[in-house]
Amino acid sequence: MVFWEEFLPALFSGIVATLKLLAVAMPASVVLGVLLGTVRVYGGKIVKTIAAAVVVVFRGFPLTVTLLILFFGLADFHIYLTPYWAAVLGFTLCGGSYQSEYIRGAIRSIDEGQSVAAKALGMSKTQEIIYIILPQALRRALPGISNELIYMVKYSSLAFIIGVPEMFSIAKTFNSQWFMPIEVFSILAIVYLAMTTIVTLGFRLLEDKLKIPSTT
């Protein structure tokens, strides 16, 4: 019974650490995704190339590699990020790059007439993008975005490799002291399942709320 008395509070602190990570990385990745996706559709040649390069690199590198580069690799250049910030940056870059593809596709799927009508009203390109295109594109990209954010909840477990004291690292440490892997990792699995299920349901509600009503 002593195990549980010690494990559960420790696990709780791990959950808090995970949430702290996600609370910043999730919105940041969406912002980055929108930025990259928009720039890749509307930007000038130089900006487009830079954005494309970012997306290719951070979609192509495994997340583990990205995290290791940010934490250990940058140290070669005397840039020392804390585990927390390296993790946040890593998730933002990786998640944002994946999301930018959904957003880019969604923007391109908006019919041209919307853009022409905005111009005819005297809107500048920026106004057109912010008030007409993005509100519609983001709705269309929402399933993809929510999918990526759910992945982020699960992949947050990788933050342990650069020393963030989140859920998985706590469980791992506990297991190496108490040698009860089935209990420890099963509980952990259940916590992750609960988190992903809640987030999934949350996004489904959001999608319903944001849906544009039609007669069908």
Partner 1 sequence: MSAGFIQYLPYIVEGAYWTFALVCGGLALGFLIGLPIAVGQVYGGKTVRTILNVYVWFFRGVPLIVLLFLFFWGIFPAIGLKLSALTTSIIVLGFRSGAYQSQIFRGAIESVGEGQVVAAKSIGMSELQSIIHVVLPQALRIAIPSWTNEYAILLKDSAICFTLGVMEILTRTKYVTVSTGIYFLPYVFAGILYIILTYAGTKVFNIVYEKLRIPGFIEGEM
Partner 2 sequence: MDSDIVLKAENLHKSYGKVEVLKGVSLEIRRGETKVIMGPSGAGKSTLLRCLNLLTKPDKGRVWLENVELTNPKVNINKMRVKIGFVFQEFNLFHHLTALENVMIGLTKVKKIPKKEALRKAKETLLAVHITEDLWDKYPAQLSGGQKQRAAIARALAMDPVVMLYDEPTSALDPQLVGEVLQVIKELARKGVTSLIVTHEVDFALEIADEIMFMYDGRIVEKGPPGEVIFNPKHEVTRKFFEKISKLYGVGKYGVLGRISPSII
Binding site for partner 2 (CB under 8 A): 113-114, 116-124, 127, 131-132, 135-136, 139, 212-216
Tokens describing residue 68: 């290791």
Out of partner 2, partner 1, none, what residue 139 binds, judged by CB under 5 to 8 A for its kind, is partner 2
Contact characters 77-106, partner 1, x per CB under 8 A:
x-----------------------------
Determine the size of the site formed for partner 1 (CB under 8 A).
39
DSSP per-residue string spanning 34-95:
HHHHHHHHH--HHHHHHHHHHHHHHHHS-HHHHHHIIIIIGGGGT----HHHHHHHHHHHHH
**x/- site string to partner 1, residues 7 to 36, per CB under 8 A?**
------------------------------
Residue 126 burial (C-beta neighbours within 10 Å; 0-12, 13-18, 19+): exposed
197 scored as a contact of partner 1 (CB under 8 A): yes
Q: What are 215's two structure tokens?
A: 């007669």
CA angle 193–197–203, rounded 5-degree value? 150
> Residue 126 CB, nearest distance to partner 2 (Å)?
10
Sign (positive/negative) of CA torsion 42, 43, 45, 47?
negative
Query: Using an 8 Å Cβ cutoff, are 145 and 33 in contact?
Result: yes
CB 52 to partner 1: min, Å = 14
Residue 66 binds: one of partner 2, partner 1, none (C-beta under 5 to 8 A by kind): partner 1
Q: Where does this chain bind partner 1 (CB under 8 A)?
A: 56-57, 60-66, 68-69, 72-77, 154-158, 160-161, 168, 171-172, 175, 181-182, 184-186, 188-189, 192-193, 196-197
